[in-house]
Amino acid sequence: MMDCNIVIAGAAGEGVQTVGEVLADTLSSLGYAVFAWQEYESRVRGGQNSVAIRVSEAPVNAPVLEADVLLPLNSGAYQKYVSRLNPGGVLLAAEGYRDPTLVVPFREIATEEVGLAIAANTVAIGALAGVLGIDPEALERVLDRHFQNKGPELIEANRRAARLGHERAASACRLADACPWSFPARDQRYYLTAGTEAIPIGAVRAGCRFIAAYPMSPATGVIKYLAKHGEQLGIFVDQAEDEIAACNMAIGASFAGSRAMTCTSGGGFALMVEAISLAGMTETPLVVLLAQRPGPATGLPTRTAQGDLLFAVHAGHGEFPKAVLAPSDPKEALHAMVRAFNLADRFQVPVIVLSDQFLSDARFSVADFELDRTVPESFPADPAAVSRYQRYALTPDGISPRLYPGQSEHLVAADSDEHDPDGHITEDLAVMVPAMVAKRRRKGEALQRAMRAPEAYRSEDADELFLSWGSTRGAVREAVDGLRAEGRRLGMIHFSELWPLPEFDWPTGKRLWNVENNAGGQLSSLLARRYRLSVHGSILAGDGLPLTARTIRRIYNEQN
Amino acid sequence: MSRTDRFHSDAEVQWCPGCPNFGILTALKKALSELNQSPRDLCLVSGIGQAAKLPHYLACNFFNGLHGRAIPTALGIQAANPQLTTIVTTGEGDCYGEGGNHLLHALRRNPDLTVLVHNNEIYALTKGQASPTTPVGEVRGLHPQGLDLTPLNFPAIAVLHDAALVARGFAADPEQLKTLLVEAITTPGLALVEVIQPCISWNPHPIAWYRERIRPVPADHDPADKVAALRLLDSPEGRYTVGLLYRGRPRPTYGDRFRSAHGRHPLAELAPPPTAVVDQLLDAFKRS
Question: Does the beta carbon of B59 lie under 8 angstroms from any beta carbon of chain A?
Answer: yes
Q: Same CATH fold, A455-558 and A193-373?
A: yes
Beta-carbon separation of B73 and A369 below 8 A: no
This model of the complex carries an ipTM of: 0.98
Overall size of chain B counted in residues:
288
Residue A225's pLDDT is 98
When mean pLDDT is compared across A224-228, A505-509, B68-72, the lowest value belongs to A505-509
Q: ∠ at Cα A362 (A360, A364), nearest 5°?
A: 110
Question: Does the beta carbon of B282 lie under 8 angstroms from any beta carbon of chain A?
Answer: yes
* Cα–Cα distance for residue pair A147/B142, rounded to 1 Å: 65
Best to test chain A binding among B98, B161, B267 (most A CBs inside 10 Å): B267
Give yes or no for residue B3 having a pLDDT over 80.
no
Strands A490-495 and A455-457: antiparallel
A213 phi and psi angles, rounded to 5 deg: -160, 160
Question: Does the beta carbon of B80 lie under 8 angstroms from any beta carbon of chain A?
Answer: yes
Nearest-Cα residue of chain A relative to residue B283: A191
Best to test chain B binding among A236, A403, A428 (most B CBs inside 10 Å): A236
Q: ∠ at Cα A379 (A376, A385), nearest 5°?
A: 145
Answer whether 0.80 is exceeded by the pTM. Answer: yes
Residue A461's pLDDT is 96
Residues of A with Cβ-Cβ distance to B273 under 8 angstroms: 204-205, 207, 233-234
- What b/e readout covers B100-135, taking b as 16+ CB neighbours within 10 angstroms? bebbbbbbebbbbbbbbbbbbbbbbbeebbbbbbbe
CATH 3.40.50.970 fits A193-373, yes or no: yes
The full set of domain ranges for chain A reads 3-176, 193-373, 380-450, 455-558
* Cα–Cα distance for residue pair A307/A518, rounded to 1 Å: 5
Domains of chain B and CATH, by start:
5-256 (3.40.50.970)
Q: How remote is the C-alpha of A289 from its chain's centroid?
A: 10
Q: What separation in angstroms does the CA of A175 have from each of A124, A162, A179, B72?
A: 19, 20, 10, 67
CA distance B22 to chain A (A): 18
First-residue to last-residue Cα distance in chain A = 29
Element spanning A9, H or E: strand A3-12
Give yes or no for residue B1 having a pLDDT over 60.
no
Contact B82, A256 (CB under 8 A): no
Q: ∠ at Cα A26 (A25, A28), nearest 5°?
A: 65
- Domain spanning A455-558 has what CATH number? 3.40.50.920
First-residue to last-residue Cα distance in chain B = 70
Beta-carbon separation of B267 and A423 below 8 A: no
Give yes or no for residue B2 having a pLDDT over 90.
no
Nearest in space to A217 (alpha carbons), one of A287, A291, A269: A291
Strands A46-56 and A464-469: unpaired
Residue B4's pLDDT is 63
Domain A3-176 -> CATH class: alpha beta
* Cα–Cα distance for residue pair B188/B113, rounded to 1 Å: 8
* Cα–Cα distance for residue pair A376/B271, rounded to 1 Å: 10
* Cα–Cα distance for residue pair A28/B273, rounded to 1 Å: 28
When mean pLDDT is compared across A170-184, A305-319, B121-135, the lowest value belongs to B121-135
Beta-carbon separation of B266 and A416 below 8 A: no
CA distance B213 to chain A (A): 36
Beta-carbon separation of B267 and A234 below 8 A: yes
Residue A347's pLDDT is 98
Beta-carbon separation of B272 and A206 below 8 A: yes
Determine whether A200 is exposed, middle or buried from the number of CB atoms within 10 Å of its CB (0-12, 13-18, 19+): buried
Overall size of chain A counted in residues:
560
* Cα–Cα distance for residue pair A82/A511, rounded to 1 Å: 37
Give yes or no for residue A113 having a pLDDT over 90.
yes
Range A385-409 average pLDDT: 97
* Strand intervals (E) in B111-198: 114-119, 165-170, 191-196
CA distance A267 to chain B (A): 18
* Cα–Cα distance for residue pair A400/A422, rounded to 1 Å: 11
Give yes or no for residue B237 having a pLDDT over 90.
no
Give yes or no for residue A374 having a pLDDT over 80.
yes
Average pLDDT along chain B = 95
Contact A110, A158 (CB under 8 A): no
Residues of A with Cβ-Cβ distance to B97 under 8 angstroms: none
Strands A363-366 and A455-457: unpaired
- What percent of chain A has pLDDT above 70? 100
pLDDT tens figures, A61-79: 999 999 999 999 999 999 9
pLDDT tens figures, B183-195: 999 999 999 999 9
- Cβ contacts below 8 Å, chain A against chain B, sum to 211
CA distance B110 to chain A (A): 13
pLDDT tens figures, B69-80: 999 999 999 999
Residues of B with Cβ-Cβ distance to A369 under 8 angstroms: 282
